[in-house]
Amino acid sequence: MKFPRDLDGREIITALSRLGFVVQRQTGSHVQLSNAGRHVTVPFHSPVRIGTLKSILRQAGVSIEQLLDVL
């Protein structure tokens, strides 16, 4: 499946929240979320680059299909 190229940080944070992640804190333009020992930092940029999105999903243990299902 192709990665979407138009997702911004707000949409990714919303999707991860629906998957059980909780916002811990925000430092500047980066938001830190956690869920059961997993910690993820999401930049509040628009759009988020593909490599950054892949890294976020790998750290969160979430597939692209799961992310797109909750959007």
Q: How many structural domains does the chain have? A: 1
Query: Is 32 a domain residue?
Result: yes
Determine the structural domain holding residue 19 and report its residue range: 9-38+51-70
Residue in this structure with the two tokens 């997702």, named with its chain if needed: 7
Helices (H) and strands (E) in the chain, counts: 3, 3
Query: Is 43 a domain residue?
Result: no
Query: Is 46 a domain residue?
Result: no
Q: What is the average per-residue pLDDT within 19-48? A: 94
Q: Report the alpha-carbon distance of residue 22 to residue 4 in Å, rounded.
A: 23
Q: What is the average per-residue pLDDT within 4-16? A: 93
Q: Residue 30's pLDDT is what?
A: 96
Q: Residue 1's pLDDT is what?
A: 78
- Quote the DSSP letter at residue 4: P
Query: Is 2 a domain residue?
Result: no
The pLDDT mean for the chain works out to 93
Q: What tens digit of pLDDT does each residue of 12-31 get? A: 999 999 999 999 999 999 99
Query: Is 65 a domain residue?
Result: yes
Query: Is 45 a domain residue?
Result: no
Q: Residue 45's pLDDT is what?
A: 87
